[in-house]
Amino acid sequence: MNQNEVVGVAVPAVEMIVGGQRVAAHGGARFEVRAPMDNALLATVPRADRADVDDAVQLAREGFAQWWQLSAAQREAVLLRAADIIAAEGEQRFLDTLIDESGSVITKARHEIRYAVDLLRTAAGEARRLYGDTFPNDNPERLSMVLREALGVVGVISPYNAPLSLLTKMVSFPLGAGNAVVIKPSEETPLTALALGQVLLDAGIPPAALSVVTGLGSECGAALSGHSDLDGLALTGSSQTGIAVGQAGMRYMRRCQLELGGKSALLVLADMDPVDAAQTAATGIFTHAGQICMANSRIVVEREIAEPFIEALVARAESLHLGDLRDERSHYGPLINQRALDKALSHVQGAVEGGAQLLCGGAALRGLVMQPTVVLEPPRDCELWREESFAPIVSVVVADSLDEAVAIANDSIYGLSAAVLSRDMPRALSAARRIHSGSVHIGTHAFQSNALAPIGGLGLSGLGRSGGKYSTEEFTELKWISLDAPRS
């Protein structure tokens, strides 16, 4: 790291990682990384373009040959070392960066660090499980076997909202399966990604097998997703980006695993205690200011308990502590940038103009921190109801039957996650089976994670699944080999 003079103040110039080296972009361009909480300039990083991506992909091809040659146990050991480094040094390496760069409160930042360790350990175990198969051949003299092999070079394009844990998941499973990776992190959070890249190199990933190229989505991201020499691509991001990345990948018939946006529904059934339900619902939407793909931004409540539930939800929203990011009591911090705040505010305004009732919030509290916002009965054609707001805003609608509640939940182009709050298991399970979604959680909110779970969505929420063995399936390919092997 060297020092740069930007607007008269010394800020670190942090270089990207290509083939184990800290390098600037070929063209020398840089961009600023700022803290969403107070707009402080944290660092400048290289603004990589096509030439930088070419270098990283070419090196990754060599890196793949080295990494895939190792035994599964050796790859497992490297990932376990990475987990151990984060377990021992996670606070020093990541905590301040996560808080400053992504605007995370300290409790969420710590959760990301712990989850990163869990993901690396899970991916290390998966590295050993590249099981193949055999099957009977028509000709009894021949033997057929099926091998599971790494894809080769995988591009990884990550979002800003959980910059450590999501990126760890996106990288560790492809690596465990034997792939080389080229990472393009969100332009909002490159510092966390570079710190993770350093951990993985320190743990023993061959330098050529892992690069982190920092840049903008339209330049560096597009260059990576459109690269002709990639074998697979993982994107976690918005549905709009997913469509662009998927189209680019189809040119080369490339495996694309896409984890995209959501507009998750939480059903609150009449048997619930309204105050308990409101508490759970609030956690599911207001965590990290609603900047969670699985946040339950739509709530459908049965009429019998609608009034006390809504009252308790508003009371809970208004009681949230929105203080300093390093204060353990703070629930959430700022939205990532002005564009995100403007979009959120315009979603609320559009809903209210369409006849919705604003029950609380609806404005910025200070800077990019938005008030927790509850909107009652938005029109079904407004952006707030249809589009992902990625903000601390929840729409509540009232249903008169379970059928109606399920139909409302399914009124979405997305299908990432959903939840049903009820103790009446037959009713809850019936709803869960009818909701069009990649996951449905009963008795809790829609924002759930687990290193082994198949995370992914239907519709515009994406393609494929990540986590545990499901990631291994995404980032490996099957090969049928047959040979003469007489039995007598």
End-to-end Cα, the chain, rounded Å: 67
Active-site residue 259, yes or no?
yes
Cα distance between residue 146 and residue 135, in whole Å: 8
- Comparing CA positions, the residue from 310, 315, 317, 312 lying closest to residue 397 is 310
Binding residues for ligand NAD, per CB under 6 A?
157-161, 166, 184-187, 217-218, 221-222, 225, 236-238, 241, 244-245, 259-262, 293, 388, 390, 416, 455, 457, 462
Instruction: State in angstroms the smallest separation of the CB of 17 from ligand NAD.
Output: 16
Least Cβ distance, residue 165 to ligand NAD (angstroms): 10
Q: What angle do helix axes 190-203 and 165-176 make, rounded to 10 degrees?
A: 40
Of 197 and 206, which has the nearer Cβ to ligand NAD? Answer: 197
| Contact present, 391 and 289 (Cβ < 8 Å) | yes
Please state the closest distance from residue 81 (CB atom) to ligand NAD, in A.
27
466 neighbors 170 (Cβ within 8 angstroms): yes
Q: Which of 231, 224, 289, 215 is nearest to 54 (CA)?
A: 224
- State which residue, 175 or 212, has the beta carbon closest to ligand NAD: 212
Return the beta strands (E) in 350-486 as ranges.
357-360, 364-366, 369-370, 373-376, 393-399, 414-415, 418-421, 440-442, 458-459, 462-463, 476-484
Asked if 124 contacts 80 with a C-beta cutoff of 8 angstroms, the reply is: yes
CB of 245 to ligand NAD, least distance (A): 5
User: What ranges make up the beta strands (E) of 161-295?
Assistant: 180-184, 210-212, 232-236, 255-259, 265-268
The set of residues, in sequence order, having a beta carbon less than 8 Å from that of 89 and lying 6+ positions away, is: none
Sequence-ordered strand ranges (E) for 109-188: 133-135, 142-150, 153-157, 180-184
CB atoms within 10 A of CB 194: 21
Q: Which of 293, 388, 473, 474 is catalytic?
A: 293
Nearer to ligand NAD, 185 or 378 (CB): 185
Task: Identify which of residues 176 and 217 has a Cβ nearer to ligand NAD in the complex.
Answer: 217
Nearer to ligand NAD, 119 or 293 (CB): 293
Return the structure tokens found at 212.
């982190």
CB atoms within 10 A of CB 321: 12
Nearest-angstrom CA–CA distance, 407 and 412: 10
Name the minimum Å distance from CB 128 to ligand NAD: 26
Q: How far is the CB of 386 from ligand NAD (least distance, A)?
A: 14
Residue 396, φ and ψ in degrees, nearest 5: -120, 130
Catalytic pick among 76, 112, 188, 259:
259
Structural contact between residues 15 and 47, judged by C-beta atoms closer than 8 angstroms: no
Pairing label, strands 393-399, 462-463: unpaired
CB of 388 to ligand NAD, least distance (A): 5
137 or 448: CB nearest ligand NAD: 448
- What φ, ψ does residue 416 adopt, rounded to 5°? -90, -55
* CB of 335 vs ligand NAD, minimal distance in Å: 11
Residue number with CB closer to ligand NAD (71 or 218): 218
Residue type, 453: A
Minimum separation from the CB atom of position 67 to ligand NAD (A):
24
CA 362, CA 347: separation in Å to the nearest integer?
A: 9
User: Residue 416: which of 390, 395, 443, 393 has the closest Cα?
Assistant: 390
| 427 or 445: CB nearest ligand NAD | 445
Nearer to ligand NAD, 238 or 349 (CB): 238
Our measurement of the distance from residue 484's CA atom to the centroid of its chain's CA atoms, rounded to an integer in Å, reads: 47
Q: Which residues are catalytic?
A: 259, 293
